[in-house]
């Protein structure tokens, strides 16, 4: 059974020095060490030969962060240590900001639809994040999806190892940290990534029935509805983003598993980033930890996106910011580490299928009297730029395409 409750593993501190020869020289990072403003870029830390050895040793276990926790580590190995400026939480500032929760159940009634379009437009134009209820994806499908991810990651290492790969030629890839060997700090997270639709035999048994069905519901029900609302919010007919811009053509699922972390103040679950997608629909369990960067009276601050029972989180990705000519905002977000866990989340990225990326052109939709703020670019160009700037906090791939 994998129905255990999340547990708290901070506390005890007998050291298991796995992959951790660097620890002795690493400086401690106090929890609230806000040494730099949150929007300042990180200094690049050199990737030393020793770090590479430690990364290889970790990667070769094919057991991910879950494997470390199962082995009983009570200290976070140094490969996972983030510099204080990216950990900084700052003194919590009082604010009244909440990510809006929008009920989509009435979008079929034309009288109410205009109101929902206005809510979606307001959220997409300001914070780039909102939660939706009444979204048409049944609770049975969301809970089955979370259980399937948990079921897979909690299988014995031998069962998961065949899926552990960094070969992007495979449509299903289980791994800890997509950019393990490129980033300067690893994250306390394992991921099962799926480009839909894979061949059924490519999917691990734990997800074989559940994941394609969940993806279908997100794409065909919620995705279609959201793209209709967003099209209208841009002053176009409801089918515009789906039919003329291909925003519903491809879907990838990143299923994340964030084990409880013994020293959550030293690392992150997911560092700050924007999404390389048109739109992302995120299913999160009840643990919490997702934060979005918002402007509070002129100063950037991290604000929680709290779990809301039955809700899905929606955010605008880079492709849609370009396509909406900056009207909709692709906003930075992150996941903090937690002593309580595991936390499970499933991000559905709406983006073109890989085969279409070199030819699918993203062009700004320009309102009358407005000027284009971006040059047109293919999905492939934007994705390449995305990976080029990745890791530089606060940098957006979109700047490269700005006119
Ligand atoms: C992502 C993401 C957030 C989460 O996968 O891009 O932002 O809560 N995930 O796991
Ligand atoms: Ni994201």
Whether 282 lines ligand 1, by a CB cut-off of 6 Å, is yes
**Rounded (to 5) percent helix, strand, coil in the chain:** 35, 20, 50
User: Is the distance from CB of 350 to CB of 278 less than 8 angstroms?
Assistant: yes
Of 177, 214, 215, the C-alpha closest to 196 is 215
For the chain, what is the domain count?
A: 1
Q: Which of 131, 179, 333 has most ligand 1 atoms within 8 Å of CB, for mutation?
A: 333
Alpha-carbon span 246 to 253, nearest angstrom:
18
Q: Which of 145, 187, 270 has most ligand 1 atoms within 8 Å of CB, for mutation?
A: 270
Q: For residue 194, what is the enclosing H or E element?
A: strand 190-195
- 40, pLDDT greater than 80: no
- Domain membership flag for residue 158: yes
Q: Which of 177, 282, 387 has most ligand 1 atoms within 8 Å of CB, for mutation?
A: 282
Ligand nearest to the CA of 305: 1
Give strand pairing partners of 191.
175, 256
Percent of the chain with pLDDT over 90: 77
Judged by phi (left if over 0) then psi (alpha if -120 to 50, else beta), residue 240 lies in alpha
- Domain membership flag for residue 114: yes
Whether 333 lines ligand 1, by a CB cut-off of 6 Å, is yes
Q: What is the dihedral of CA 26, 29, 34, 37, to 10 degrees?
A: 30
The ligand 1 atom at the shortest distance from the C-alpha of residue 347 is: 5
- Domain membership flag for residue 402: no
Q: What's the average model confidence in pLDDT over 111-130? A: 95
- DSSP 8-state symbol, 258: E
- At 272-327, the pLDDT tens digits run 999 999 999 999 999 999 999 998 888 888 999 999 999 999 999 999 999 999 99
Whether 256 lines ligand 1, by a CB cut-off of 6 Å, is yes
Q: What angle do CA 151, 143, 217 make, to 5 degrees?
A: 110
- Domain membership flag for residue 192: yes
> What order of strands is seen across the sheet that includes strand 101-103?
101-103, 129-133, 312-316, 279-284, 343-350, 251-258, 190-195, 172-175
Whether 270 lines ligand 1, by a CB cut-off of 6 Å, is yes
**Any idea what the CATH number is for the domain that residue 262 is in?**
2.60.120.330
Task: Give the residue, by CA position, lying nearest to ligand 1 atom 1.
Answer: 347
Average pLDDT, the chain: 88
- At 170-192, the pLDDT tens digits run 999 999 999 999 899 999 999 99
Judged by phi (left if over 0) then psi (alpha if -120 to 50, else beta), residue 305 lies in beta
**Strand stretches in 234-306, DSSP E:** 251-258, 268-273, 279-284, 290-296, 299-304
Range of the domain at 145: 7-355
Alpha-carbon span 330 to 332, nearest angstrom:
7
- Domain membership flag for residue 393: no
Q: Give the pLDDT band (50/70/90) at residue 36.
A: very low
- Domain membership flag for residue 272: yes
- Domain membership flag for residue 20: yes
- Domain membership flag for residue 394: no
User: Is the distance from CB of 150 to CB of 257 less than 8 angstroms?
Assistant: yes
Hey, which of 23-32, 41-50, 216-225, 385-394 has the most confident mean pLDDT?
A: 216-225
- 66, pLDDT greater than 60: yes
Tell me which of 29-33, 166-170, 177-181 is least confident.
29-33
The CA 141 to ligand 2 mean position distance, Å, reads 21
Alpha-carbon span 153 to 197, nearest angstrom:
20
């Amino acid at each position: 059974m994998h129905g255990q409750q999340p547990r708290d593993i901070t506390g005890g501190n007998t050291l298991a020095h796995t992959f951790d020869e660097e620890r002795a020289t690493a400086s401690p990072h106090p929890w609230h060490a806000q040494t730099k403003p949150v929007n300042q870029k990180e200094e690049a830390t050199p990737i030393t030969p020793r770090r590479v050895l430690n990364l290889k040793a970790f990667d070769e276990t094919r057991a991910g962060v879950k494997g470390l926790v199962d082995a009983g580590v009570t200290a976070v190995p140094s490969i996972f240590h983030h510099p204080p400026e990216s950990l900084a939480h700052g003194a919590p500032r009082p604010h009244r900001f909440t990510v809006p929760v929008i009920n989509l159940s009435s979008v079929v009634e034309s009288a109410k639809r205009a109101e929902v379009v206005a809510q979606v437009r307001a959220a997409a134009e300001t914070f780039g994040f909102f939660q939706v209820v009444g979204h048409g994806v049944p609770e049975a499908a969301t809970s089955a999806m979370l259980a399937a991810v948990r079921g897979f990651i909690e299988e014995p290492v031998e069962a998961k190892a065949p899926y552990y790969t960094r070969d992007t030629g495979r449509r299903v890839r289980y791994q800890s940290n997509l950019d393990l060997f490129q980033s300067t700090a690893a994250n306390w997270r394992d991921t099962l990534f799926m480009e839909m639709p894979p061949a059924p035999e490519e999917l691990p048994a734990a997800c074989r029935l559940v994941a394609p069905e969940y993806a279908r519901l997100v794409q065909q029900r919620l995705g279609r509805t959201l793209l209709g609302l967003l099209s209208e919010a841009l002053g176009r007919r409801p089918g515009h983003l789906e039919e003329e811009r291909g925003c519903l053509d491809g879907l990838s699922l990143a299923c994340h598993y964030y084990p409880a972390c013994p020293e959550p103040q030293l690392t992150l679950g997911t560092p700050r980033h924007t999404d390389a997608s048109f739109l992302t629909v995120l299913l999160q369990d009840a643990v919490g930890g997702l934060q979005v960067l918002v402007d509070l009276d002129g100063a950037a601050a991290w604000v929680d996106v709290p779990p809301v029972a039955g809700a899905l989180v929606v955010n605008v990705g880079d492709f849609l910011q370009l396509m909406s000519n900056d009207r909709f905002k692709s906003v930075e977000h992150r996941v903090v580490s937690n002593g309580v866990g595991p936390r499970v989340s499933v991000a559905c990225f709406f983006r073109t299928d890989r085969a279409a990326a070199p030819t699918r052109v993203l062009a700004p939709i320009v309102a009358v009297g407005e000027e284009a703020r971006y040059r047109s670019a293919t999905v492939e160009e934007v994705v390449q730029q995305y990976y080029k700037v990745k890791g530089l906090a606060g940098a957006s791939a979109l700047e490269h395409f700005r006119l």
